[in-house]
């Protein structure tokens, strides 16, 4: 693949901008500047640097972000900064692929919710991870306003009715982790689902953190606001 096309596919700007970056000597491969925009490289696994910043070619982007509180999952946020501002410019500017708008979040978390958020430009992956038919479990650590009792846990497991659907919505698992702390596993992703389920059993969410999706837990060394690429092993844990 030509170097200018590699840069373009990774979000470094239009083809013309990418060709310009190369011709200006700002791009190196194996620490050697390359000034021929049409130079051919094997894209898979290619490491290169643009303006001194190291990058690795990824045909598709699969990312894990530790969403901090006070950020919105929208590209056009209304009150708080967008989560997309936490990504480096190439990831925000990757060209659009079929059915996606470049890199986008897999589902949304509320402004005040923290924890695991997946982002990708693979539309089929988004579909598989979000579709209720695929039952990907998501684990939430809930801090409730009032002490949680066994009756509330029983109701969450049996199912509660939310205001937009007469069908019962159940927690796949629910355990007490402290007097006001609940670990709740859901396999669907309805709007404000945790907050509405907790309200339906007469309590209230004061803090919400997503700690696990499928078999992948939020790594302890990924601080709020940080992101990283998902490895093939991570992806296998998400989709066993």
Query: Rule CB under 6 A: which residues touch ligand URA?
Result: 109-110, 113, 192-195, 208
How many residues are listed for the chain in this entry? 240
Closer residue to ligand URA (CB): 86 or 194: 194
Q: How many whole angstroms separate alpha carbon 140 and alpha carbon 185?
A: 6
CB of 14 to ligand URA, least distance (A): 36
Q: Which is nearer to ligand URA, 38 or 168 (CB)?
A: 168
H or E element at residue 194: helix 193-200
Angle (nearest 5°) at CA 175 between 169 and 178: 130
Write down the least CB distance from residue 196 to ligand URA, Å: 6
Least distance (Å) between residue 76 CB and ligand URA: 18
113 or 120: CB nearest ligand URA: 113
3-class secondary structure, 113: coil
Count Cα neighbours of 41 within 13 Å in the Cβ-side half-sphere.
21
Residue 166, helix vs strand vs coil = strand
User: 5, 110, 112, 234: which is the annotated catalytic residue?
Assistant: 110
- Token pair of 147 as six digits: 């002490």
Quote the DSSP letter at residue 37: T
Distance CA 207, CA 167 (A): 26
Our CB check for ligand URA shows the closer of 5 and 112 to be: 112
Q: How far is the CB of 192 from ligand URA (least distance, A)?
A: 4
Between 103 and 205, CB nearer to ligand URA? 205
* Whether 110 is catalytic: yes
Nearest to 208 by CA among 183, 172, 232, 176: 183
Minimum CB separation from ligand URA for residue 109, in Å? Answer: 4
The whole-angstrom separation of Cα 202 and Cα 165 is: 19
* Separation of alpha carbons 233 and 52, rounded Å: 29
Q: Which positions are catalytic?
A: 110
């Amino acid at each position: 693949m030509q170097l200018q096309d590699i840069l373009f596919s990774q979000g470094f700007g239009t083809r013309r901008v990418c060709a310009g970056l190369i011709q200006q000597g700002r791009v190196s491969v194996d620490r050697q500047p390359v000034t021929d925009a049409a130079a051919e490289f094997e894209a898979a696994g290619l490491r290169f640097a643009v303006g001194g910043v190291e990058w690795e070619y990824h045909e598709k982007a699969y990312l894990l972000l530790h969403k901090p509180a006070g950020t919105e999952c929208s590209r056009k946020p209304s009150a708080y900064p967008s989560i997309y501002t936490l990504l480096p410019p190439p990831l925000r500017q990757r060209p659009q692929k079929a059915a996606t708008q470049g890199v986008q979040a897999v589902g949304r978390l509320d402004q005040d919710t923290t924890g695991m958020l997946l982002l990708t430009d693979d539309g089929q992956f988004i579909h598989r991870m979000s579709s209720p038919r695929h039952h990907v479990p998501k684990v939430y650590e809930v801090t409730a306003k009032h002490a949680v009792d066994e009756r509330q846990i029983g109701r969450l497991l049996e199912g509660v009715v939310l205001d937009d659907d007469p069908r019962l919505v159940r927690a796949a698992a629910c355990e007490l982790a402290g007097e006001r702390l609940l670990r709740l596993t859901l396999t669907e992703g309805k709007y404000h689902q945790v907050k509405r389920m907790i309200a339906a059993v007469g309590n209230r969410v004061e803090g919400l953190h997503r700690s696990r999706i499928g078999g992948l837990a939020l790594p302890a060394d990924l601080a709020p606001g940080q992101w990283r690429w998902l490895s093939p092993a991570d992806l296998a844990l998400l989709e066993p």
